[in-house]
Structure 1
């Protein structure tokens, strides 16, 4: 397999998950601003939409969308520890949180807070919505260590997106349980390895 990623982007979640399940894969860095891979290849010849993550399977097929890829990667582990068996309450909970991370975190942060041309009124509305979501997560994480109880691919996704607050200067000090959670996820060996591989840790 081959994972196309941009350091710190949502592809980090898939990168973490691949390491969690012990998958063998090559990681290819993409400069999204220039739309080129590390070797200078025009990334749009690989991914017409131009974004990451993109996972190329051993059969040559290419697939996108973080939440879909996270479910696929979780199922590479025959015990399905990161997602739960089909039809189980565990799987429903994990997929529910994957969807939450996708719609209520990822698509609130992005693209609004990343673009200078975003109106200040829009920025404030986005920050207000994120504050509501962070407060919800903080309350939940005061009662349990991870989103679906035990660690799952939903945590890899939520961690990756909430971590954008560091790049954007959004303090999490009002949310001590969320901060502690970020520390728990980032301290996992797979997360440490992925962060280091992406140049986000020294």
Structure 2
């Protein structure tokens, strides 16, 4: 299995998930504007040019973060990265994966983290943050994880919340989220993933 990533992008969640599941994978760093090590353009793997993306030994090519994370969760032992299929908890996990993808990653952070954005777009995105962070804070107040036990949804949320300071989102206004993020960062798989990618991020 090959996983394509950019250091400290949302693909960090896939590295965390693979560590949690104790799976073997080759991680291939994507450098924007450059071909992959095998000479192909990254769009041959991910048509939109987004990480994470993956290739399996059987030839499956998969892009879009929630799909990649769900695939990894299904490779793991049952209960390690996701609730059992067809349970209410499983659908709640899917809800949170999609919430992080659409309501946080794309709606709030994407306009704040690209040089192609405008001041109006950035102001709009910051205006969206409060309602979404209020909802998350209320949900996580008094519980460890988004759904039951640690799942790929938590890995994705942690990866996105790592961007707050860089993007100018005042996470300090939500103490529950600050505490949750700190606890997730101390989790061995998360600490290992961040320690691996930090030097790559600094060198990029």
Structure 2 counterpart of 1:72: 71
1:112-139 superposed Cα distances (whole Å, 9 cap, x missing partner): 1123342322211211111211121112
Structure 2 counterpart of 1:167: 166
Unpaired segments of 5 or more residues in structure 1? none
Provide the rounded CA distance (Å) in 2 between the counterparts of 1:78 and 1:114.
35
Provide the rounded CA distance (Å) in 2 between the counterparts of 1:104 and 1:187.
25
Q: 1:8 to 1:21 in 2, by over 3 A?
A: same
1:118-163 superposed Cα distances (whole Å, 9 cap, x missing partner): 2322211211111211121112221211111321110001111121
Mapped contact 1:31–1:38 kept (Cα < 8 A): no
Provide the rounded CA distance (Å) in 2 between the counterparts of 1:149 and 1:85.
11
Q: Does 1:89 align with 2:88?
A: yes
Unpaired segments of 5 or more residues in structure 2? none
Provide the rounded CA distance (Å) in 2 between the counterparts of 1:40 and 1:199.
25
Q: Does 1:9 align with 2:3?
A: no
1:45-65 superposed Cα distances (whole Å, 9 cap, x missing partner): 443332211111111321111
Structure 2 counterpart of 1:28: 28
Mapped contact 2:4–2:30 kept (Cα < 8 A): yes
TM-score if structure 2 supplies the norm length? 0.89
1:20-70 superposed Cα distances (whole Å, 9 cap, x missing partner): 1001001111112x2434677532344333221111111132111110111
Per the alignment, in what secondary structure is the counterpart of residue 17 of structure 2?
Answer: helix
Deviation at residue 199 of structure 1 after TM alignment: 2.1
Greater helix fraction, Structure 1 or Structure 2: 2
The number of aligned residues is 201
Provide the rounded CA distance (Å) in 1 between the counterparts of 2:68 and 2:98.
12
Provide the rounded CA distance (Å) in 2 between the counterparts of 1:147 and 1:187.
17
Provide the rounded CA distance (Å) in 1 between the counterparts of 2:37 and 2:168.
28
Provide the rounded CA distance (Å) in 2 between the counterparts of 1:38 and 1:135.
43
Structure 1 counterpart of 2:186: 187
Mapped contact 1:4–1:29 kept (Cα < 8 A): yes
Structure 1 counterpart of 2:136: 137
TM-score if structure 1 supplies the norm length? 0.90
Mapped contact 2:17–2:72 kept (Cα < 8 A): yes
Provide the rounded CA distance (Å) in 2 between the counterparts of 1:40 and 1:165.
34
Structure 2 counterpart of 1:18: 18
Structure 2 counterpart of 1:58: 57
